[in-house]
Amino acid sequence: MQRIAVIGVGYVGVVTGACFADLGNHVCALDINQDKIANLTHGVMPIFEPGLKELVDRNVAAGRLSFTTCYQEAINDHQAQFVFVCVGTPEGVDGEADLQYVRSAAQSVAEIMDHSLIIINKSTVPVGTGDWVADIVRAAQTHAIPFSVVSCPEFLREGSAIADFMSPDRTVLGSHDLEAANKVAQLHLPLRAPIVVTNLRTAEMIKYASNAFLATKISFINEIANICEDLGADVLEVAAGMGLDKRIGHHFLNPGIGYGGSCFPKDVKALAYMAVVQGRNPQLLQAVMEINDFQRKTVILKVREVLGDDLTGRTIGLLGLAFKPNTDDMREAPSVEIARMLQQAGAAVRGYDPAAMEWAIRAIPNLGLAQNAYDLVAGCDAVVVCTEWNEFKHLDLDRVKRLMKQPVIIDGRNIYDPAKMKSLEIVYRGIGRGYDGCGD
């Protein structure tokens, strides 16, 4: 059992704190946002994540997990040995990571610490941030107290974050202090996963390189999908055939309307920015971002292909709004850009999502709201599938057809079978399906 402080109770922080508590440690999670802490204290989660509320409630009840807004309480009173920095690093003006919250956390820790600490950067931070944090802590200390900085980047997927924490592919640790890195490794031993120990900058780079590679796979298969469409091939079968090659694998070969969320868009931009600062020309990263942007535009092209160029007065429904299923996260969600382009073309846009409605109305101005999927499709000239929630895969498509003004489905996530759509006489457009059996 170790004593751990977690700074930041956003997505990474609350999952990290709850999971370490569930492993038997005593965790005090801190955030300067009083509303977040008050909500967590009363069992209200800051994010939608399957299983998280049950995990938090169980460990609070067991006395292993607590919440505070006070650094003194979280670190000194709690006698924390490890401090995980899990604050946000939003995108800056030019794509660089904004480190203001990391700086604030490092300064606050330094000003109150009264015993030796291991400070762990869990947030996604640019290469070199670990050294920078160490400089900030040394400069802000009221008197010299030993500390070490370790990089331990997170690899959590929204919608499966608890499983990803408890059963990781690997744990990456980087530090100039091997003893400190080994102590952090001991925290992760119960997870029974490979542990990679390296230097600070290499650990920070592993995170960016991993996310950039996964984003590249998504953009690659989307490029292939667009070529398949022109040549009459089915990209889903192409991806299946490719994935059987162990050197390629099936993961992230899912053609659609592109990646979104809080990680891939921000991290690819940040890595490209770092490359440019060093005088490099990140051509592949630029292409990955350009292809991802284009995938949103393909939806508008498909809508116009079926309904005509003039969308004035048309009603378009967006089935799913969050950037992926099992989350309410609207950050960089494809639905936002698709809605904007449809509205600019004169269409009225309606939307429904099982979890993200509260955030969607803030992200998409003038969005019409539906109570459920059937309410959404009623009276629509076309429906665009933006998020592959399981409930959408099992809709009564006969009922959907009867409710729509025109039976047109633009399947941005390829969740439906073109042959079935043809049998139902629904006009169907998927992504890279070769239009074989489109129903028109």
State the virtual CA torsion across 388, 391, 397, 402 in degrees, nearest 10. Answer: -110
> Using an 8 Å Cβ cutoff, are 14 and 45 in contact?
yes
Q: If DSSP codes are grouped into helix, strand and coil, which group holds residue 372?
A: coil
Can you say whether the dihedral through the CA atoms of 88, 91, 97, 101 is positive or negative?
Answer: negative
365-368 contacts at long range (C-beta below 8 A, 24 or more positions apart): 367/339
Name the pairing type of β-strands 147-151 and 171-175.
antiparallel
Give the SS3 label for residue 49. coil
**Residue positions counted in the chain:** 440
Interatomic CA distance for residues 342 and 217, integer angstroms? 28
Strand order in the sheet with 382-385: 368-369, 348-352, 315-319, 382-385, 408-411, 427-429
Which residues pair with residue 115 across a beta bridge? none
Q: Which of 263, 380, 386, 438 is catalytic?
A: 263
How far, in Å, CA of 415 to CA of 412, rounded?
8
Q: Which residues contact 241 (CB under 8 A, 6 or more apart)?
A: none
Residue 51, CA distances (Å) to 57, 200, 255 in order? 10, 32, 28
Q: Which of 332, 363, 98, 93 is nearest to 215 (CA)?
A: 332
Phi, psi of 77 (to 5 degrees): -60, -35
C-alpha 305: how far from chain center: 32
Residue found by looking up tokens 């996963």 in the block: 193
DSSP H helices, 116-252, are: 129-140, 161-166, 178-188, 200-231, 235-243
Q: What is the dihedral of CA 162, 168, 172, 178, to 10 degrees?
A: 90
Q: Are strands 408-411 and 382-385 parallel, antiparallel or unpaired?
A: parallel
Catalytic site includes residue 19: no
**Neighbour tally for 330: CB within 10 Å:** 24
Helix (H) or strand (E) holding 383: strand 382-385
Catalytic positions, written as ranges: 263
